[in-house]
A and B are shown apart, each in its own frame.
Chain A
Amino acid sequence: MVQPELLYSKEHEWVRIEGDRATIGVTDYAQEALGDIVYVELPKPGRTVEQFGDIGVVESVKAVSDLFTPISGEVVEVNAALETDPAAVNRDPYGDGWLVKLKLKDSGEAKNLLAPRDYEKLIAE
């Protein structure tokens, strides 16, 4: 399941850009591959993150994966609900399972990301 209105990274994160704000999460494909997610470690608000840099980790029962941000910016909000309900990432990766919100640094970076069609191709490989 790929959402048409989002942009994607090769590391299977999505970003929704609205003005100078961006919301980030992992894709449905990623949550499926990760399996039951049991814990999500997110950056502290205020931290500046660089495009494709790591911003946290996601744990399933027997695996740990890095989270990378598809775009640079300052963390303005993290999804606190995931602390008690990490399953939201599995249940609703594009909705309740969002990870962080950023204040964008350079919306021009969007050109380094994949359009929905290209991402679909990537995961079909």
Chain B
Amino acid sequence: MSAPASDRTASPLIFELGQEGRATQYVEHGKPLRSFMPEGVLRDDLPLPDNTELDVVRHYTRLSQRTFGIDVGFYPLGSCTMKHNPKVNDALAGVREFAELHPFTPDDLSQGALQVMYELERSFCSLFGMAAFSLNPAAGAQAELAALLIAKKYFRERGETQRDKVIVPDTAHGTNPASAAMCGFKVISLKSDARGRVDPAEIRTVVGPDTAVCMMTNPNTLGLFEERIHEIADAVHEAGGLMYYDGANANALMGNTRPGDMGFDLMHLNTHKTFTIPHGGGGAGHGPLGVAGHLVEYLPTPYVVREGDRFRLDFDRPKSIGPVRSFWSNFAHVVRALAYLYANGAEGLTKVSQYAVLNANYMRVKVAEFLETPYPEICRHEFVASAQQLKKETGVRALDIAKALLDRGYMAPTIYFPLIVPECLMIEPTETESKETLDGFVAALRDIIETAKTNPQELLDAPVTTVVGRVDETRAARQPDLRWRPPR
């Protein structure tokens, strides 16, 4: 590797480093491949770089230093629940009996792993008021897909194949309509009312004999609690449809209220949000899928069942939609989630949602002192602010505020989502952040809004303290460069 690079110089690609034959040796040298296989089935060349362990360690250490995680600083990314990921979770996921267990190990030699799955599933059922959970889906979006496949099969078996509409509020996550489309459902988008909620009267005008599923999250993506959820569920049920709960925001209601009691028939959790699994830069996630009693038989295979004090994977479930992934679950995450449940217990989880809501409301009133908050009422775990007025006055947009926050050492909130709020900033502090951290962030945001009025150019130029300045996304999309190519 070349001389130590300063922070701002580009980091070479791993392919631009190394020399053939330099790789640190981890296994014995093997015999030439052609001594085992006919030449015709072998590849000619393997154009990968050889680097020493030290060079690889420095390279990826440097890349880590150019990456912002929760461990680095405050991460108020709305809807993503970036709370502290306890280190004990990772330690336990790495226990040899779990980390080295092959998925095809017979059930009677996988009892520990199966018990972990079972304990987590039972706890989820109680926490969210569902009859059963499948721990199989790899992420929330995949759980949505599985849930809609269940709905499709359920209606087909009831002879109600005309049910081809899925109702989705305009505040919903993009995965909702995308999942619906993957099951051949047509999407009906529902406008939120002036209070940012779904109006039961509005639901009544769209439900009918073609309604399959209504997908909602509660609190919704504006952070507002849908208090009339029962009326909405009744309207959908009376029309013969099913209610789906998008659990992306479950951090706001654990131990307080349950989707099952609100009338939801299906739900998913984003274990990586609510139950402190590290997001790992965008996965792996984990999306347990919960169902009410009448849909248990349809869950994906396999499903963990208990017989006496033994557990087994049940593959023989004739009504199941089938498997949704290569193996049984993102098991390492199941271990992490269970560790988190043990760390908190029922009482602790209740406090988690209380403090998440407390932190969000505290920030909401503080931020409202200098930025428009379009829904000025008690919120749940997150709230939205809007830079629309600021943009009119100063030309500074939500994007610029986000970039200026990076310069002040904070991750930016979610911006431009939900789509119904112009110049939206969606802020979710989570329960693990202290009052001092929240105060610090609010002060930085206040400083940015003041700077917008005195020196907007500074914000339009932001960020300037990061390893690169504002990135040219247009060029990236117009001339896609998605890989390195060997020099000719």
**A interface list, Cβ under 8 A from B:** 36, 38-39, 59, 61-62, 86-87
Contacts and interface: CB of A to CB of B under 8 A. Distances in A.
15 contacts: A36-B474, A36-B478, A38-B474, A38-B477, A38-B478, A39-B477, A39-B478, A59-B477, A61-B473, A61-B474, A61-B477, A62-B416, A62-B473, A86-B478, A87-B478
Contacts of A62: 416, 473
Contacts of B473: 61-62
The secondary structure that dominates the B interface is helix
Nearest to A59: B477
A63 B477 CA distance: 12
A36 B477 CA distance: 10
For A39, A59, A61, the residue with the greatest tally of chain B CB atoms inside 10 Å of its CB is A61
The secondary structure that dominates the A interface is loop
A87 B474 CA distance: 10
Interface string B249-280: 00000000000000000000000000000000
Interface in B468-488: 473-474, 477-478
Interface string B219-253: 00000000000000000000000000000000000
Contacts of B477: 38-39, 59, 61
Task: Name the interface size band of chain B.
Answer: under 10
A-B complex: 8 closest residue pairs judged by Cβ atoms: A38-B477, A36-B474, A61-B473, A38-B478, A61-B477, A61-B474, A38-B474, A86-B478
Contacts of A59: 477
A36 B474 CA distance: 6
A65 to B, nearest CB: 14
A36 B475 CA distance: 9
Contacts of B474: 36, 38, 61
Nearest to B416: A62
A87 B477 CA distance: 11
Nearest to B473: A61
Contacts of A38: 474, 477-478
A61 B475 CA distance: 9
For A36, A39, A86, the residue with the greatest tally of chain B CB atoms inside 10 Å of its CB is A36
Nearest to A38: B477
A86 B479 CA distance: 10
Given A38-B478, A39-B478, A61-B477, 12 more contacts: A36-B474, A36-B478, A38-B474, A38-B477, A39-B477, A59-B477, A61-B473, A61-B474, A62-B416, A62-B473, A86-B478, A87-B478
A84 B206 CA distance: 43
A82 to B, nearest CB: 11
Interface string B137-167: 0000000000000000000000000000000
Interface in B394-444: 416
